[in-house]
């Protein structure tokens, strides 16, 4: 996903990464990881941190998936994931 975004240029949109994980790119070219989920019948999203598209700072896909897994485990216990 990160490579695809770099190749296509930073187009403002969300890129699905599976298991409720999304890479969101803004018009300014900044990127962040988030999960989208439902809790209590309402659609919600939780930011996981800045994405590392340059290879220098932020979360890489592997780390973002690990953070998403922790948040999604809370959902299995019927808890709203921590912010």
Q: Please give the pLDDT value at position 20.
A: 92
3, pLDDT greater than 70:
no
Q: pLDDT for 26-56, tens place per residue?
A: 888 788 999 998 888 889 999 999 987 776 7
CB-based contacts of 8: which residues, under 8 Å, 6+ apart? none
Q: Give the pLDDT mean for 8-31.
A: 82
8, pLDDT greater than 80:
no
Region of residue 61 (left: phi > 0; alpha: psi -120 to 50; beta: else): alpha
CB-based contacts of 27: which residues, under 8 Å, 6+ apart? 12
Task: Specify the DSSP class assigned to residue 36.
Answer: E
Share of the chain above pLDDT 70, in %: 82
65, pLDDT greater than 90:
yes
* Residue 83 half-sphere exposure toward CB, CA atoms < 13 A: 1
């Amino acid at each position: 996903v990160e490579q695809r975004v770099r190749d296509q240029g930073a187009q403002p949109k969300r890129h699905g990464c599976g298991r409720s994980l999304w890479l969101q790119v803004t018009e300014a070219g900044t990127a962040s990881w988030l999960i989208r989920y439902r809790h209590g019948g309402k659609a919600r999203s939780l930011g996981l941190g800045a994405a590392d598209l340059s290879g220098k700072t932020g979360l890489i896909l592997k780390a973002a998936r690990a953070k998403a897994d922790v948040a999604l485990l809370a959902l299995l216990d019927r808890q709203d994931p921590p912010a």
